[in-house]
Amino acid sequence: MQSRIPFDPASARKPIFHALLEARDSFGGSTQALVDGDGRILTYDEILRACFALGAALKKGTRAGENVGVLLPTGVGAAIALFALSAYGRVPTMLNFTSGEAGLKSALATAQVKTIVTARHFIELGKFGELEAALTPLCRMVYLEDVRANLSLGDKLAAVAGKFAPRAVAANPSHKMPAVILFTSGTEGQPKGVALSHENLLVNVAQVCAHIDLYGNDVLFNPLPAFHCFGLNVGIILPLIAGVKVICHPTPLQPREIVRRIGEYGATILLSTDTFITQYARTGEKDDLASLRLAVCGAERVRDETRALFRRKFEMDILEGYGVTEASPVVAANQIEANRSGTVGRLMAGMQTRLEPVEGIANAGLLWIKGPNVMLGYINADKPGEIQSLPDGWYNTGDVVSIDEEGFIAIRGRMKRFAKIGGETVSLSVVENCAAALWPDHHHAAVSLPCPPKGEQIVLVTDAPDARRMDLIAWAQNHGVSELAVPRKILIVPAVPVLGTGKTDYVAVQKLAQADLENPKSA
């Protein structure tokens, strides 16, 4: 049955754990809701029982309102830790295990995390022993295996009480209070903590459910990390609350296994990014993804080459959306009945936008957004634990966009992703698009470096072994692209750095380009 429903912000005025309780009541406690990477299936009743037992155990040594770290891959463990902490009034703080020791230590200090929930099995499989050793002096490490093995009688009684009188046992914080702390991806600088309220998350769930058709027999496949807002809210919280069975996969970096599991479970919705879905499309045969009816991509621009490959191989269009962690995360998305290539679709219900003019860029502007899904505020390293709210509720996305008369939003690039060359403004995204058109099977990243007296020079970092500047010049001339968009230098590398979310790691790319400038090896 179709479940697109009118947007109702009032439905978000509750804690996320209470929304899970309502979902259990609506869809039935015995309904299968969550499938782990190892095939373990949990019903709503089993999820709630585990949440109350784990939450009661985690209560010890923590206090209400405390930020508690979660260092786990996407799966049953992460989902239960999230809701277990929430059930007892703690604030799950999702830690990016791909950010390295320095990044994690910074996150712990910024959010004032003193306890981390993790799993020995995860530490072992991920080879995070050195990382664990570095974090142990800073935080109390709580391992899920140890909690399960040492549940006290009180913890077990809490699980029983939670089954029969869940609302009497669970905490009931205001919907305006922090529900989760996430960290910005750090593609262009130091990550910051983002405090999202219960209302922020649940409003965004309601916005997505009002924007895209969901059905009772849908099965959502989520391989995106739980420390990424797309993977957390759209990939875990939304399906559980909306009654959509969710198949979790611990990493997006296993294309063969992911394609196999999509077919095994008859998944109808796939969440991904351009980087990852390209790998799945190349790996899978036509029938492997036959069960899918929606492939929804966010976090980065979907390339034309990716769209063409997916359409040709699977006779299916990708729905591209746009989001930011600060907006919980979905801001806009295409729809099956309104899917316009080259855009990220239309704005979510209940949101406002404004565009500020940008010098040198015509028919576009810097995008500011406002709405009930926009964050409580940042937590910065210089003021640990303190949420710095937006003074007037408006958030500067840092993206330059155009919006047509029908409301479709086209991303022109990041404000920081434009170069000034000879007085002209050049989009680094255009540079990458040109390279992608010539070498579609490879990853490209463009950055700008100082270049007196012209201002800046563009360097293309690519893993295409045969990339040559003369080929880009010829392509630009043949396609009417300004020669200013041709990079001055091309640096060929074994692999272009990416973050755990699949986004290009522009900080690392910039360092590669700078090092090459000082010790040239480029084409």
Instruction: Please indicate whether residue 340 or residue 477 has the higher confidence score (pLDDT).
Output: 340
Instruction: Please indicate whether residue 377 or residue 1 has the higher confidence score (pLDDT).
Output: 377
Q: Using one digit for the tens of pLDDT, what is the confidence trace for 223-279? A: 999 999 999 999 999 999 999 999 999 999 899 999 999 999 999 999 999 889 988
DSSP for 42-105?
Answer: EEHHHHHHHHHHHHHHHHTT--TT-EEEE---TTHHHHHHHHHHHHTT-EEEE--TTSHHHHHH
Residue 145 and residue 48 in one domain: yes
Compute the distance between CA of residue 31 and CA of residue 311 in angstroms, rounded to an integer. 34
Residue 91 and residue 208 in one domain: yes
Residue 10 lies in a domain: no
Residue 378 and residue 459 in one domain: no
Residue 398 and residue 444 in one domain: no
pTM: 0.85
Compute the distance between CA of residue 471 and CA of residue 492 in angstroms, rounded to an integer. 14
Q: Which CATH number fits the domain that encloses residue 133?
A: 3.40.50.12780
Which residue, 352, 357, 344, is CA-closest to 327? 352
Residue 4 lies in a domain: no
Residue 409 lies in a domain: no
Q: Using one digit for the tens of pLDDT, what is the confidence trace for 392-405? A: 999 999 888 999 99
Compute the distance between CA of residue 243 and CA of residue 3 in angstroms, rounded to an integer. 10
Domain that holds residue 216: 15-403
Q: At 477, is the secondary structure helix, strand, or coil? A: helix
Residue 375 lies in a domain: yes
Residue 9 lies in a domain: no
Compute the distance between CA of residue 369 and CA of residue 421 in angstroms, rounded to an integer. 30
Confidence of residue 358 (pLDDT cuts 50, 70, 90): confident
What CA–CA distances, in Å, run from 16 to 11, 161, 172, 236, 414? 11, 19, 10, 12, 32
Q: Using one digit for the tens of pLDDT, what is the confidence trace for 408-430? A: 999 987 766 777 676 667 778 78
Compute the distance between CA of residue 72 and CA of residue 252 in angstroms, rounded to an integer. 14
Segment holding 306, helix H or strand E: helix 304-314
Average pLDDT over residues 63-75: 96
Residue 355 and residue 500 in one domain: no
Beta strands 269-272; 245-248: pairing state = unpaired
Average pLDDT over residues 358-373: 89
Q: Using one digit for the tens of pLDDT, what is the confidence trace for 305-328? A: 888 888 888 888 899 999 999 999
Residue 329 and residue 211 in one domain: yes
DSSP, res 289: G
pLDDT at 81: 96
Average pLDDT over residues 481-488: 78
Q: Which CATH number fits the domain that encloses residue 439?
A: 3.30.300.30
Domain count, the chain: 2
Average pLDDT over residues 368-394: 94
Q: Using one digit for the tens of pLDDT, what is the confidence trace for 122-172? A: 999 999 999 999 999 999 999 999 988 887 777 777 666 666 667 767 788
To the nearest 5 percent, what fractions of the chain are helix, strand and coil? Answer: 40, 25, 35
Residue 285 lies in a domain: yes
Residue 415 lies in a domain: no
Residue 504 forms beta bridges with which residues? 498
Residue 226 and residue 359 in one domain: yes
